[in-house]
Structure 1
Amino acid sequence: MRPAPAGARIDAEHDVAAVGLWLAEYRLSPRTQRHYRKEAERLLLWLADHGLGLSELDRRRLADFEAFLADPRPSERWIGPTRRRSDPDWRPFRGPLGAASRRQSLVILQGMFAWLQEAGWVAHNPFRLVRDKGRRLDNRQGRVERYLERPLWSWLWHWIDQRAAAAPSGRPRFEAQRIRFVFAFAYLLAPRISEIAAARMSDFRLREGHWWWEVTGKGDKRAALPVPAEMLQALAVWRGELGLAAQPGAFEHEPLLRGLDGERPLGDNQLYRLIKAAFQAAAQALERRGDARPEQLAALRAATPHWLRHTSLTHQAQHGVELRYLAQSARHARLDTTARYLHTEAEEWQRQVSGHRLEPSG
């Protein structure tokens, strides 16, 4: 490991320690800290693999790193299933990163380098030399595309609901009811997957005749979201499966989602795999029907848990939920982030342009 540079303003002996000090700035936001650590770790491992240190990352090598994120090779060395960090089979990637994930990685690492530069650990920030910053380093995007259109969502929910109703008693029924509740929760309240995994029964609270879901989101920000009637119904069904009363009490601090023993909580990674498996099984079921459009099958196969959040917010926007309330449901700091879910203007644009023809009528 390379020693500390002359003039460094932080007490670190090497790159890993310097990055550790940067990560310590996020100690009050554990989820953010874990996410940032993952991106920093990937960069440090890649640099070490090339015999480089942080101070040697320049514009050209940054382009090489971005290409690596899109296709980590050799795959057997970099890609693998979820494992504990201490497991010898642990790998830093589950698969190649898509464009949005690469952009997010670069945004995080740009912030890390800005901090390291201010700390005197590196002489410059190579991310600032990227000319096409609007595309690659700006976290704002165009309209959200990773969501399920209404007809496909309607079919998917019916399939999940029917499968839960038809499941035999015991473990098959428990698992089918659990995934039914997960999809209902994800669609009706638009949580992030970490928020679903961390939810407790007591997070649902009755105040002045209305139910609210209290959640701690990104940056450890607290919020309270109104709970729709169908969410209360789904919660009652799930609690019934657990042998509990329909409505939770204020002191029920047990996990909302449970393992097969009915007590153990589900982690983010396990929940991610359950949702992905449900999407894959749905795609197979839809394909067997023989009348599915190729783009519908492709959407189900590509869908991740975050698609459910996008689907929820998009459908709420299409249903006419005002932007200010949609932003509060999404817990976005900026309205332009929420505006990505507004597809109605695109539909109206299509309608008006449809009258523009090569040979005007009349």
Structure 2
Amino acid sequence: MINADTDAEAIACWLREYRGSPRTQQAYRREAERLLLWLADQGLGLAAMRREHLDTFEAFLGDPRPRARWVGPTRPRKDDRWRPFRGPLSPASRRQSLVILQGMFNWLAEAGWVRHNPFRLMRDKRRRLDNHQGRIERYLERQLWTWLWRWLNRPLEDGASGRQCFEYERRRFTFGFAYLLAPRIGEMSASRMADFTQREGRWWWQVTGKGGKTASIPVPPDMLSLLKAWRCRLGLSSEPAPDETGPLLRALDGTRGLGDNRLYRLVCETFHKAAEVLEQEQGEDARAYVSRLRRATPHWLRHTALTHQAQAGVELRYLAETARHSRLDTTARYLHAEDEEWHRQQSFHGLDRP
């Protein structure tokens, strides 16, 4: 039912169904490509995939080996050093991958490209492919974020070059933007100056996010201060004009925008540098925090922002609007107050002191 001669062409037909949602299409392409590369390594094609292959593939997602062949830092797809993984996938990411691939096989079966969907043979399918996730764990605790933000704001040494001053302000703005407005990485790189608008004396950030959904997010005073400082560094007026279409985050020339990959690397490099400094300054006392910084990715900043807003008492309905979640139970994963209270009350129960 489709015009395709190879597995790659068949998957391309499936991906075209998501052309209206570029972010979704990009995520689905990544998972399909990982599967195709793994099948090629096994000497198999999509039509040859059987039930027993699913367990092997799921284990591979959790530990892609040999590491040098499969794992590497983010690079352009055409770069010879590009690798399909940045590291082993977490249980939640493995589950998400299987959910996407199950849908792909359903479509390919309907299209007549494969005869069956091996996912239908999984007896524990509901448990394995249940995409419901528990509480958010990949975020920076308040104390760790406080240290990180103070470190980002440490004054530069005397005699810093113009490039160092530019990168300093860009890091501050990037992390402040991510923490205060909880954007996704793609939303940050796509943001334009004119996306910050003023209505009746209040500033709003206009964003087009996942699934092409648009939203207006209130801009708090600290975000407006960061925006003004960043624009000052760029040599612009303090506030953006309605017709100012230039990119928000910019390369060293001050005009070109930052792509997703470059922005991703910038944030990860900052996390790793922060981990080195924290380890040097506090040693073993900060071992847990150092480990978290080394594992952190840009999406941790979104989780951190939403978690800290919830802890600060932002109502669930407003938190959901900021996160742009279609379901409140998705947003509720950021509510840790009940866990804290449960833990506090559990401490009442103990053993007699000898």
Q: Which runs of 5+ in 2 are unaligned?
A: none
1:306 counterpart residue number: 299
Match of 2:345 among 323, 344, 352: 352
1:220-235 → structure 2 map (5 Å cutoff): 220-235=212-227
Equivalents in 2 of 1:112, 1:32: separation in Å? 13
Tell me the SS of whatever aligns to 1:162: coil
2:8 counterpart residue number: 16
State the TM-score, normalized to the length of structure 1: 0.92
Residue 29 of structure 2 is aligned to residue 37 of structure 1:
yes
Equivalents in 1 of 2:134, 2:187: separation in Å? 25
Cα deviation for residue 51 of structure 1 reads 1.9
1:328 counterpart residue number: 321
CA change 1:282–1:313 in 2 (3 A) is: same
Pairwise CA RMSD: 1.9
Equivalents in 1 of 2:154, 2:173: separation in Å? 13
1:195 counterpart residue number: 187
Alignment check: 8 A CA contact 1:156 1:282 kept: yes
Return 309-318 or 55-64, whichever deviates more: 55-64
Return 85-94 or 32-41, whichever deviates more: 85-94
Match of 1:275 among 254, 259, 267: 267
Match of 2:17 among 25, 28, 51: 25
Cα deviation for residue 113 of structure 1 reads 1.1
Equivalents in 1 of 2:264, 2:189: separation in Å? 10
Q: Which amino acid aligns with 1:129?
A: L
Match of 1:285 among 264, 273, 277: 277
Equivalents in 2 of 1:250, 1:99: separation in Å? 44
Return 145-154 or 81-90, whichever deviates more: 81-90
- What's the CA shift string for 1:317-344, capped at 9, x where partnerless? 0000111111111111111111110000
- What's the CA shift string for 1:299-322, capped at 9, x where partnerless? 111111111101000000000011
1:4 counterpart residue number: none
Equivalents in 2 of 1:327, 1:32: separation in Å? 20
CA change 1:323–1:214 in 2 (3 A) is: same
Cα deviation for residue 44 of structure 1 reads 1.1
Q: Which amino acid aligns with 1:302?
A: R
Residue 97 of structure 2 is aligned to residue 105 of structure 1:
yes
1:137 counterpart residue number: 129
Tell me the SS of whatever aligns to 1:212: strand
Residue 148 of structure 2 is aligned to residue 149 of structure 1:
no
2:311 counterpart residue number: 318
Alignment check: 8 A CA contact 1:42 1:92 kept: yes
Alignment check: 8 A CA contact 1:181 1:235 kept: yes
Return 27-36 or 221-230, whichever deviates more: 27-36
Match of 2:52 among 44, 48, 60: 60
Equivalents in 2 of 1:336, 1:166: separation in Å? 50
CA change 1:115–1:94 in 2 (3 A) is: same
Equivalents in 2 of 1:136, 1:163: separation in Å? 49
- What's the CA shift string for 1:264-294, capped at 9, x where partnerless? 1111111111111111111111112226432
Q: Which amino acid aligns with 2:114?
A: V
Tell me the SS of whatever aligns to 2:154: helix
Q: Which runs of 5+ in 1 are unaligned?
A: 1-8
Equivalents in 1 of 2:157, 2:300: separation in Å? 24
Cα deviation for residue 359 of structure 1 reads 5.6
- Deviation above 6 Å: which 4+ runs of structure 1? none
Alignment check: 8 A CA contact 1:187 1:309 kept: yes
Alignment check: 8 A CA contact 1:164 1:177 kept: no
Tell me the SS of whatever aligns to 2:114: coil
Match of 2:233 among 217, 241, 258: 241
- What's the CA shift string for 1:93-144, capped at 9, x where partnerless? 2333232322221121111112112222223222233344455322221111
Equivalents in 2 of 1:240, 1:135: separation in Å? 52
Equivalents in 1 of 2:321, 2:349: separation in Å? 38
Identity %: 64
Tell me the SS of whatever aligns to 1:205: strand
Q: Which amino acid aligns with 2:44?
A: L
Alignment check: 8 A CA contact 1:202 1:253 kept: yes
State the TM-score, normalized to the length of structure 2: 0.94
Equivalents in 2 of 1:215, 1:165: separation in Å? 36
How many residues in Structure 1 have an aligned counterpart in Structure 2? Answer: 352
Residue 120 of structure 2 is aligned to residue 128 of structure 1:
yes
CA change 1:260–1:125 in 2 (3 A) is: same
Match of 2:61 among 60, 69, 72: 69
